[in-house]
Every structure is written in C-alpha cells, then in structure tokens.
Amino acid sequence: MKIYRSEDCDADLVKAKRVAIVGYGSQGHAHALNLRDSGVRDVAVALREGSASRARAEAAGFPVMGNAEAAEWADLVMVLAPDEEQAAIWSHDLAGHMRPGSALAFAHGLNVHFGLIRPPAYLDVILIAPKGPGRALRRDYLRGSGLPCLVAVHQESAAGGNGHALALALSYADALGGGRVGILETSFREECETDLFGEQAVLCGGIPLLIRAGFETLVEAGYAPEMAYFECLHEVKLIVDLLHDGGLAAMGLAISNTAEFGGLVTGPRLVTEETRAEMRRVLADIQAGRFVKRFVLENQAGAPELAASRAAARAHPIEVVGETLRAMMRGTSVVDKPPPQS
C-alpha cells in the first residue's frame, strides 16, 4: 500500500477550489476548520433548511448555503452527512446541480461502492477518509500533527487529465493534516468493506458484547456489580491505550505475567474456529451487500431495531452501575448530571 506525505501533495490544488462541506457534525466541522486553517479560502457549509447546525457554522464564520445552491457554487462537494441520508441528499439536492469536471467527495465509500449513489461520468468521485472521529481530527491538527487518511478514486472525469482526481484527493487530505503523518491510497471497495467489518466484528459488535457478557457472568456468579464493571469495562481503556501506542506484542510486555499468561490460555477458548467461521460469514454478508440492504430497510422503517437496542443498552445494569462509578471518578454526583438532550 502506497503512503504519501505532505511533500508528495500539491497543497495549491485544493486551495484553488471552492469547497462545500455537506453537514456540520463531527466530521463536517473538523473538515471545514482544518481546510480553512490550511489556507483554503473558499469553504462553505451546506445544510438542509432548518438544520440545528446552522448557528454553529455561522458562529465559526462559514457561509451557509442550501445543498443545491452549494452544489452549483462549489468545485468540490464533500458529503459528510450520515450514511443513511446521503442517497436522498444526492438524488434530491446534488444530482444535476454539479458542474462537469467538479469533484464529488466522500469520507466513507458505502453509498458509492454499493450503488446507492451513481454519479454521472462527468464528475470526479473521490474518497478522503480520516481514520478517527472529527474531534480527534481537529485536536491533532491543532497540535501540529494529524490523523492518517485514506484516499481513493472511484472515477475520474475527462476534464482534468490523467491522475488529477488522485492529486486533488491527496491535496485535500494534506489540508486536513493527513500528510503530516501519512496518507494511504486504497479503493472505495477496500475502505468500505474493511471499515464495516472492523466495526461489526471487533469494534462496535465484538468488544461491547464481550464486555457485557463478562459483566453478566461475574454478577450472576455473585460478585459485586461495581467489581464487574471495573474489571470488564473500566480497564478496557488501559489495555486499548497500550495496544494503540505499541501494538499487540508491546501490550503483552506492559501487563503482568499473570495477565499475559491468562490471556494466552483463555483467549483461544473464547475466539474459537467457530468464531472465525462466523467472522468470515459476517464479511461475506458485507461483501454481497446483504448488510447494506438490511441497513437501508431498517432506516426506511424508521430504525426500530436501533431504537430498541439503544433503549435496552441504557437500561442494562452495566450502565446503571457505570453511571454512578463514572460520576464518582469525575468527582460529581449522578444527580448533578444535566438531563439528556432531546
């Protein structure tokens, strides 16, 4: 996999563009601010009518436009709305409004790779995907560093010449701060399918359920919920920090011999060949589009599975005891906590 640095990128390419950022959430605000701070003078935020983000974007000094207006104005449109909203935004607001030779950009390949969005051949279609949430993208940029970024080209219009779409993606990624640490070239397919698999099998599916199952096992055996919380959830961050900073081998050297040997003999009892077989089935569902089809149907129905899952998660005993312990560690009381925002 090829890795680019700032010296491999033409910073002036994106600086010469009028850039519209569709959405001003976690990723949107970080993209807009980092681009502007890197010298991109013409950055606007595109929002639907009545968006709650409008005041924040205007307070940050960005002009705010409607989606269709922004598509007509911009040379590069970066779509950073949630995945489930992007196809409707494209079909209702952006399609037919972008000029030939302009660029349509994404930070995740899902809608393009699985055909939910089918851009016309007269557009460049590129991917610039920072490997982290927006707050980390902005934080690391301000620290003089950055997040690694992935770039890819889905299609290149005839307007710019061979390689111009990749050069523009690299320039944009560098303006986000990616060139300070590394920009990796990939494809829409590879970014999308690996991202979905990592989320489902490990990060957002595997780890949370493993934590919850460990907590339940200890509590059912008669141990205090507070002890179960500390051992199965709280200390996860300590291990993840070791993994993040040094990798699997370094983590093993940093923990006690007892913990390392316990993981050695017990891990294979939990992650078995059947677990690996199920992971392969998960990947096959992603590759074949079955997951995306289910995700689309879920959102068309009003996301009932997500709503039920969120309600169950809030009511789980690990959240009840966790809220109290987290407040204790912050030096506050649960009753001092502000009510949740609707």
In sign, the C-alpha dihedral spanning 103, 107, 113, 114 is: negative
Of residues 207, 208, 26, the one with CA closest to residue 108: 26
Count other C-beta atoms under 10 Å from residue 70's C-beta. Answer: 25
DSSP type of residue 98:
S
DSSP 298-324: HHHTT-HHHHHHHHHHHHSHHHHHHHH
Question: Do residues 89 and 171 make contact, with C-beta atoms less than 8 angstroms apart?
Answer: no
Q: Which two tokens stand for residue 293?
A: 């089809």
What CA–CA distance (Å, rounded) separates 78 from 106?
A: 6
Longest Cα–Cα distance of the chain, Å, equals: 69
DSSP class of residue 48 equals -
Could you tell me the CA-to-CA distances from 113 to 62, 153, 187, 204 in Å, in that order?
Answer: 31, 11, 9, 22
The count of residues in the chain is 342
> Would you call 164 a catalytic residue per the annotation?
no
CA-CA distances (angstroms) from residue 289 to 198, 201, 228?
16, 16, 38
Answer whether 174's CB lies under 8 Å from 183's CB.
yes
Distance CA 119, CA 102 (A): 11
The Cα–Cα gap between 329 and 254 comes to 24
Rounded Cα–Cα distance for residues 117 and 98 (Å): 14
Catalytic residue among 31, 108, 113, 154: 108
Q: Where do runs of H (alpha helix) occur along 101-183?
A: 110-113, 134-142, 164-176
CA–CA gap between residue 70 and residue 72 (Å, rounded): 5
Active site residues: 108
